Amino acid sequence: MLPKGIGTWSLTTLQQQLEKTGRLAVLIECGGSGYLKIGPAIEAMEAETEGLGAAFYWTLTHALNKVMRLYNHDDALMYEEQMHEYAAEDDEENQGQYEFPEVEKALPECIRKTLKRDFREGKACDRELLRLHRKGRFKDWIGRLRRIEQLARLPLKQSREYLEEGHYDQPPLPCLLVCFKEHDAIVACFDEESQSMLECSSEPALCAIFSPANPVEVSNALRIVARFIQINAELFSLVESIHESEARRGDPSFDRSESLLRAA
């Protein structure tokens, strides 16, 4: 059974493709973005050991990017670059109307320092730091991160050929907004970009196609869906734990309920 909300043209096209092959589809859609303010957690980790907060952030980002779309500093930096390009192409009298978010200046120092490091060397250092602290003060967060990383190690094999036939306008909506502070440059960029995200038809966050007559395909589809749900369950628990820790320090997380693309 196909869920509602993926756009009439895309739904009709996908149904036609499935009817030709006698297959079924499992689609998981993202109707709004989760919200993780990770800055305080990074600061606490960095206070414990230099580099630990950055290691946690990069490992989480790399793991989640394998299985879902995030909106984080990378997206904000691309948006800022795009704004500079638009301004350069615009008439000179209009250039004063542009506001640039200065994303890199808004990043924590530990993240700025590691932005352009060698990927493999950085990954090895991050893994070692997290291993050394897996039983320490932040063992709960690191434990959940390790489970997310393990579950995301193998990419979810989605049915790309059907997505391409669906004529979607854009990739999936971001499943998670990751910022460092309330109202920081990343949030500002997200709020600007989210105004147009819902105007287009977006790919589902997950697409698994299978033939009910083929036990192998059924098993593979169930495995993909189960792993996606497991990753999200661990992620939700991690986000809740981080925000609860911040609330206990008297700084409750920002309510994003008024966002056009809701970040709950």
How high is the mean pLDDT of the chain? 82
Number of domains making up the chain? 1
What is the structure's pLDDT at 17?
59
The number of angstroms, rounded, from the C-alpha of 183 to the middle of its chain's C-alpha atoms is 18
Ranges 11-20, 129-138, 201-210, 243-252: which has the least confidence = 11-20
More confident residue, 250 or 259: 250
What is the structure's pLDDT at 70?
93
Residue 80 lies in a domain: yes
Residue 256 lies in a domain: no
**Could you please report the per-residue DSSP string of 182-211?**
TT-HHHHHHHHHHHHHTTS-B--SEEEEE-
What is the structure's pLDDT at 41?
95
Residue 2 lies in a domain: no
Residues contacting 252, CB < 8 A, separation 6+: 243, 246
Residue 253 lies in a domain: no
Round to whole Å and give the CA distance between 154 and 63: 10
In this model, does residue 229 exceed pLDDT 50?
Answer: yes
Are 147 and 238 in contact by the 8 Å Cβ rule? The answer is no
Structural domain that includes position 57: 8-248
Ranges 10-24, 85-99, 190-204, 230-244: which has the least confidence = 10-24
Residue 257 lies in a domain: no
- The pTM assigned to this predicted structure is 0.82
The number of angstroms, rounded, from the C-alpha of 144 to the middle of its chain's C-alpha atoms is 16
Residue 132 lies in a domain: yes
Round to whole Å and give the CA distance between 203 and 5: 11
Residue 240 lies in a domain: yes
Residue 118 lies in a domain: yes
